[in-house]
Amino acid sequence: MASIENFEKLDIRVGEIIEVKDFPESRKPSYKLQIDFGKEIGIKKSSAQIVKNYSKEDLLNKTVLAVVNFPPRQIGSIRSEVLTLGVPDKDGEVVLIAPDIDVPLGGRLY
């Protein structure tokens, strides 16, 4: 069982997607994302298998939550620097976790 101390080790922050590109070389349909987490953390790269529920236009300027303190992970041609968070819909496709009101970039989940 995880403890609150384990949870507190995760650094989950608010970011805004500022660039979305197709990721055709990925094994599963995906996008390459650039996410702005504000001045403290800056702009980070991520890949996300979210093409079933989101168009590139839907994602641009969308606010999301991501884990920013995992080590970078090579995913095909992209070095993913953050884990963009989502939950499965009824079909098992990813739905992004996003605040529903305006919050500052870089804000930490607690």
Instruction: Give pLDDT tens digits for 15-61.
Output: 999 999 999 988 889 999 999 999 999 999 999 999 999 999 999 99
Asked if 84 and 64 count as a contact pair (C-beta separation under 8 A), the reply is: yes
pLDDT at 103 over 90: yes
Average confidence (pLDDT) over 92-104: 95
Structural domains of the chain sorted by starting position, each given as residue range(s) with its CATH number in brackets: 4-96 (2.40.50.140)
Looking at residue 27, what is its pLDDT? Answer: 87
pLDDT, tens digit, 9 for 90 and up, residues 68-97: 999 999 998 899 999 999 999 999 999 999
Q: How many angstroms separate the CA atoms of 32 and 24, rounded?
A: 10
User: From the centroid of its chain, how far is CA 56?
Assistant: 14
